[in-house]
Structures are given as structure tokens and as C-alpha cells.
Amino acid sequence: MAGGWARDGAVQDQIDDSVADAVSAARASMPSGTGEPFCTLCGGDIPEGRRRALPGVRTCVTCQSGRDRPLAATFNRRGSKDSQLR
């Protein structure tokens, strides 16, 4: 069934364009390249297998797994500061 105002296939063309846009956006938001050969936090080697598995990875396993702790410490410091202001 034709849409009446658009030729047959126009809707499919629009869908194809949307998919292409989504793919482009996804590629742009993804880390590019093979990542860093050395951890940006501790300077340690990042194994090639890890870089292949996680394109654009910039931290070693140790720093990656420890990332939650500095974040929690930040929240704790903020909490202390707030209580000092009261």
C-alpha cells in the first residue's frame, strides 16, 4: 500500500538513512584505535589481549577494577565537607 504522498520505497529509504546515522553515531561515541599500550593511571603495561578485547581501553585490569574505590572516597569527602559547613 502506497502512502499517497510518497513513492513506494521512500519509507524504506528513510529507515536506511536512520540506521546509517545510528551506526555513525555509535562509531563516533566508541573509543577509537587500539587504546593505550600503557595504563594512563599507573603507567603499567596493558596486555595486547586486553586492548583487543576492549578497544580504546586506557587502564590496566588493576586500575579498572579499583575504579569504584576512588569514587566512593570522593563521595565520602564530599559528605565530610557538607557536615563541616553545618
User: Site residues (CB under 5 A) for Zn ion?
Assistant: 39, 41-42, 44, 60, 63
CB of 27 to Zn ion, least distance (A): 27
C-alpha cell at 19: 540506521
Q: Which is nearer to Zn ion, 15 or 42 (CB)?
A: 42
- Rg for the chain, CA atoms, rounded: 23
CB 50 within 8 Å of CB 31 = no
Which backbone phi and psi does 5 adopt, to 5 degrees? -100, -10
4: left (phi over 0), alpha (psi -120 to 50) or beta: left
Task: Indicate the residue among 19 and 61 with the shorter CB distance to Zn ion.
Answer: 61
Task: Provide the minimum distance between the beta carbon of 46 and Zn ion in the complex, in angstroms, as a whole number.
Answer: 8
Q: Which is nearer to Zn ion, 41 or 54 (CB)?
A: 41
Q: Give min distance, CB of 49 to Zn ion, in A.
A: 16
